Structure 1
Amino acid sequence: MTKKIAVILSGCGVYDGSEIQESVITLLRLDQRGCQVQCFAPDVAQKHVINHLNGEEMPESRNVLVESARIARGEVKDIALANADDFDALIVPGGFGAAKNLSSFASDGAACSVNLQVQALAEAFAEARKPVGLICISPALAAKIYGPGVTCTIGTDAETAQAIEKMGGTHQECEVTEIVEDTARKLVSTPAYMSAKTISEAAAGINKLVDRVIELTQA
């Protein structure tokens, strides 16, 4: 039976939205595995807009849902319309949008909050014991979703790992090409561009994550 997977995007671009390569690799792998995918994003303003050529902030405003449509080729819905009952699993690519638009982690660290609609959807998957895949920086939100004791990885970045531990999570160091699984919670994470130096390195871990998430839908 075709698996239905929800993917949460956070804009378009590594510095202020979803990491494009991570998102595309995720969507490609899901398609290669025959999954039916629906992308979602919150209908909110981005925290800010970054010029990806020089890294400087730009004096304009953009919408997370509208920007996410660039990656999804227009096939993205307001996360307010998402229902965990309609899907078998959830995956969240990284990029600073996860830490700026889906949450306040970039500015508040361990004291961060998560967008209420994002948190409600992720918690619904967790409560239903449906698999969730968190990529790159998005595992920093794991403790906010699952509570204390959850195991995840962002690779080897000491500062981010410390924030995860401060929120009550358990951080496990991981090579960029590998995954970490919290078997009790059906949560899978991988470092991707928290550690990757090339798109091939990022893809190796992401492909393993997607494959394992699909396997867990059958468990």
Structure 2
Amino acid sequence: MLVFPRCCRTLLTLSTVRVSSRFYSPGMANKRVAVVLAGCGVYDGTEIHEASAVLVHLSRGGATVKMFAPSADQMHVVNHLKGEPSEEKRNVLVESARLARGDIQDLTKLSVSNHDAVIIPGGFGAAKNLCTWAVQGKDCSVDEGVKAALQAFHSAGKPIGLCCISPVLAAKVFPGCEVTLGIEKDDKYPNTADTAAAVTQLGCKHVNTSVSESHVDQKNKLVTTAAFMCDAPIHQIYDGIGTMVQGVLKLA
């Protein structure tokens, strides 16, 4: 059921979205959205809070969600208590199933024709398992299945949502696109400046936006937000992801 506040103020400035995370218009409902995961856990997979925020906002927006992940070994496995790599091996799809409560499919089964949009949460898994940005930066390679999926949605004119570090996937696959990773030269965004510089070197444009905002690249139908690129309270990250989800549903 959709809930509408009596009043919603929307401020749009140069394609930057800053809207109430509780406002969803009737036209956004009934969209079919694919969510691509990269494992389970911030240091070697999908960031759990980001995935949860994406799913909650999609649910609030009345979307039907299907989850996917590549069936491949993780780059490595991290002991999240110690913050150190371990010797074990784990499969990205199997680990992602933890977040999906078991309801997930191999990325090879993702059909663009059956979906109106795709969203990829962040976490180091996006930079380790979906591409190799974590070790190669702008010279990274993107998983072939992930690249094919992004290109297919792009070619079909269907929106792509990305948060935290995952916008680097768009920067690598779509030269000339616009993304946000937060605010450069701001201590609250300790990793943004270097990553934004690499994105710029790829021929893309980095747009400074706060954690509570998202940026819409209208030409490429990309919607990005900083999320945990910012050292912010979790509710602000949650709300920022909400603006990203809203932007995706509006474009779908």
Q: Where on the TM-score scale, by shorter chain, does this alignment land: which range?
A: over 0.9
Kept in 1, the 8 Å contact 2:74–2:129? The answer is: yes
Question: Which residue of the other structure, out of 77, 86, 95, is the alignment partner of 1:58?
Answer: 86
Say yes or no: does 1:214 pair with 2:241.
no
Residue pairs, 1:133-172, within 5 angstroms: 133-146=161-174, 148-156=175-183, 157-172=192-207
Q: Is the 8 A contact 1:110 1:164 kept in 2?
A: yes
SS at match of 2:216: strand
Q: Which SS does the other structure have where 1:6 is aligned?
A: strand
Conserved 8 A contact 1:126-1:145: no
Q: Does 1:205 align with 2:240?
A: yes
- CA shift at 1:149, angstroms? 1.3
Structure 2: distance between partners of 1:164 and 1:116:
20
| Matched position secondary structure for 1:70 | helix
Q: Which has the higher helix share?
A: 1
Deviations 1:169-203 (A, max 9, x none): 11111101101110111110000000142210111
Correspondence for 1:44 = 72
Segments of 5+ residues of structure 1 without an aligned counterpart are: none
Distance in 2 (alpha carbons) for counterparts of 1:48 and 1:66: 14
TM-score by length of 1: 0.97
Instruction: Name which one, 1 or 2, has greater alpha-carbon Rg.
Output: 2
Q: 2:230 aligns with which of 183, 195, 198?
A: 195
Cα root mean square deviation, aligned: 0.9
Q: Quick check: 1:18–1:98 contact (8 Å CA) kept in 2?
A: yes
Give 4+ residue runs of structure 1 displaced > 4 Å after superposition.
Answer: none
Letter in 2 for 1:165: T
Cα shift at 1:143: 2.2
Identical aligned residues as a percent: 48
TM-score by length of 2: 0.84
SS at match of 1:39: strand
For structure 2, the 5+ residue unaligned runs are 1-28, 184-191
